[in-house]
């Protein structure tokens, strides 16, 4: 695999483990053990069983006929929105809770933006009877109130992050501080392909089930081995990495990663990291991040809490730099309109995160025989109030 990680935890120039010494034993333990644990037959069997019976996998690959007609291509939706808890985040949460159990950890912490990863983590902790603390930006707690309530109902403690922009980046800082203070009994379930190595690789592997299934399903639908295009939205980039994973070495498949432009790339209110970012270090890895000339992290903005992050995972930074994937961006308004369109053409209300990926279809030129897979990473229930406010329903 040409685009995967090397022994030191780097994807080309990006990755590594830029962590304070306090976290070294935890990261080292993970680095040494995660492959042994996750490659073990017993682990795999339990992971697959839970994905099937509890999550409801495989998620369908749905041929969206009316959307296909509109854009003049064969468009397939990878229905991660139909997973238990409503998004792809559960795939990783199941993998990591099984890992945490095998590492003997008694307490779980997580960060969350839109709340989808927080809900997924609270869910697996309830399932396994493990204490759960979720850090969430104060601003996000307000705009994603239903998910806060869900986490509490599932028995998790939700702790507001009140520093900085009070969004995902700050929740991640708080979770890292908690881990520094509780290094021995606690496992940190990072929700995206970010953080110090081995997290980006570990999360990508747990999410790679998305493309593993999609590849098989596309063949059943079309008889073709490979799609022409694969699209997914990117905040930190976990659904995109899962959706790209098994296509990375198939160079003829065009990978399109859709970032949040917020109010516009040049508006000063954006989260389009690949355009606005520079190389640097964020949350434990060398990657691309939005920062000032002085190396201070810039507060990102997107209407979608799950994309409101100033960096991208190090593997995305690498795919961007070597141009294996194309990184584009979509504004708040374009995403909301695409969400409405998908609702009315296909009867599917997408999460605003996922709606960003659909909005980019509008800007692409297709041949009618093109096969296109879009990752529908989450359902829109959590975003209803935002949609209602925007469209005055």
Identify the residue among 129, 181, 252, 347 touching other proteins (CB under 8 A): 181
**Cα–Cα nearest to 61, from 241, 216, 233:** 216
Q: If binding is defined by CB under 8 A, does position 200 make contact with other proteins?
A: no
In three-state secondary structure terms, 220 is helix
By CB under 8 A, tell whether 88 contacts other proteins. no
- Among 87, 304, 354, 377, the active-site one is 377
Cβ proximity to other proteins, 39 vs 279, nearer residue = 279
**Cα gap 373→356, rounded to integer Å:** 14
Under rule CB under 8 A, residue 295 binds other proteins = yes
Q: Out of 78, 117, 169, 205, which residue is the one contacting other proteins (CB under 8 A)?
A: 169
CA 152 to chain centre: 22
Cβ(225)–Cβ(47) below 8 Å: no
183 binds other proteins (CB under 8 A): yes
Instruction: Pull the structure tokens for residue 322.
Output: 């070597």
**What whole-number distance in Å separates Cα of residue 302 and Cα of residue 37?**
37
Q: CB 11 → other proteins: shortest distance, Å?
A: 15
Q: Is the Cβ of residue 7 or residue 252 nearer to other proteins in the bound state?
A: 7
End-to-end CA distance of the chain: 48
Q: Binding of other proteins at residue 284 (CB under 8 A)? A: yes
Q: Which of 32, 49, 157, 163 binds other proteins (CB under 8 A)?
A: 163
For the four alpha carbons of 83, 85, 91 and 97, in that order, the dihedral sign comes to: negative
Please count the CA atoms within 13 angstroms of the CA of 140 that sit on its side-chain side. 38
111 catalytic? Reply is yes
Q: Could you tell me how many residues of this chain bind other proteins (CB under 8 A)?
A: 33
Burial class (CB in 10 A: 0-12, 13-18, 19+), 146: middle
State the nearest-atom distance from the C-beta of 140 to other proteins, in Å. Answer: 17
- If the CB atoms of residues 22 and 384 are measured against other proteins, the closer one turns out to be 22
Residues in the chain: 393
> Could you tell me which stretch among 206-214, 236-244, 274-282, 328-336 binds other proteins (CB under 8 A)?
274-282
Min dist CB 175 to other proteins, Å, is 9
Q: Is 103 in the site for other proteins (CB under 8 A)?
A: no
Exposed e or buried b per residue across 331-355, where buried means at least 16 C-beta atoms within 10 angstroms of its C-beta: bbebbbbbbbbbeebbebbbbbbbb
Query: Which of these, 378, 340, 374, lies nearest to 147 by C-alpha position?
Result: 378
Residue with smaller CB distance to other proteins, 296 or 392: 296
268 lies in the binding site for other proteins (CB under 8 A) = no
Active site (annotated) includes residue 354: no
Place of tokens 């141009």: 323
Judge whether 385 and 115 are in contact, CB under 8 Å.
no
For residue 389, count CB atoms less than 10 angstroms from its CB and return exposed for 0-12, middle for 13-18, buried for 19 or more.
exposed
Residue 104 as a binder of other proteins (CB under 8 A): the answer is: no
| Rounded Cα–Cα distance for residues 118 and 131 (Å) | 13
Task: Single out the residue of 96, 147, 173, 331 in contact with other proteins (rule: CB under 8 A).
Answer: 173
Among 281, 340, 345, 364, binds other proteins (CB under 8 A): 281
Give the residue, chosen from 39, 40, 69, 184, that forms a contact with other proteins under the rule CB under 8 A: 184
Catalytic residues: 89, 111, 377
- Applying CB under 8 A, the residues found at the interface with other proteins are 8, 16-22, 24-25, 163-164, 169, 173, 176-177, 180-181, 183-184, 278, 280-284, 289, 291, 293-297
């Amino acid at each position: 695999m040409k685009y995967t990680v090397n022994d030191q935890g780097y994807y080309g120039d990006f990755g590594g483990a830029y962590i304070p010494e306090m976290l070294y034993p935890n990261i080292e333990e993970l680095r040494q053990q995660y492959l042994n644990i996750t490659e073990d037959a017993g682990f795999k069997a339990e992971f697959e069983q839970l994905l099937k019976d509890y999550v409801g996998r495989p998620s369908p690959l749905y041929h969206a006929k009316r959307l296909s007609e509109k854009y003049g291509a064969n468009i397939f939706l990878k229905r991660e929105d139909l997973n238990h808890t409503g998004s792809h985040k559960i795939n990783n949460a199941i993998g990591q809770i099984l890992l945490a159990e095998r590492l003997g950890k008694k307490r779980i912490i997580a960060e969350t933006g839109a709340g989808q990863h927080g809900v997924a983590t609270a869910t697996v902790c309830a399932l396994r009877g493990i204490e759960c603390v979720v850090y969430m930006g104060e601003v996000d707690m307000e705009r994603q109130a239903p998910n806060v309530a869900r986490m509490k109902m599932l028995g998790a403690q939700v702790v507001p992050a009140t520093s900085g922009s009070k969004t995902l980046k700050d929740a991640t800082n708080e979770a890292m501080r908690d881990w520094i203070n509780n290094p021995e009994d606690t496992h940190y379930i990072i929700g995206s392909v970010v953080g110090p190595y081995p997290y980006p690789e570990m999360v990508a592997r747990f999410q790679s089930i998305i493309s593993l299934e999609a590849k098989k399903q596309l063949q059943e639908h079309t008889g073709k081995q490979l799609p022409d295009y694969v699209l997914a939205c990117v905040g930190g980039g976990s659904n995109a990495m899962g959706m790209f994973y098994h296509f990375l070495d198939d160079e003829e498949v065009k990978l399109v990663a859709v970032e949040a432009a917020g109010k516009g790339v040049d508006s000063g209110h954006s989260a389009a990291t690949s355009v606005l970012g520079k190389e640097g270090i964020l949350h434990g890895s060398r990657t691309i991040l939005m920062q000032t000339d002085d190396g201070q992290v810039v507060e990102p903005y997107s209407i979608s809490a799950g994309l409101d992050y100033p960096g991208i995972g190090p593997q995305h930074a690498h795919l961007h730099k070597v141009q294996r994937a194309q990184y584009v961006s979509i504004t708040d308004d374009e995403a909301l309109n695409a969400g409405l369109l998908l609702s009315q053409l296909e009867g599917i209300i997408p999460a605003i995160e996922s709606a960003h990926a659909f909005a980019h279809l509008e800007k692409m030129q297709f041949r009618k025989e093109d096969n296109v897979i879009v990752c529908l990473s989450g359902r829109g229930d959590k975003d209803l109030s935002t949609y209602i406010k925007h469209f005055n329903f």
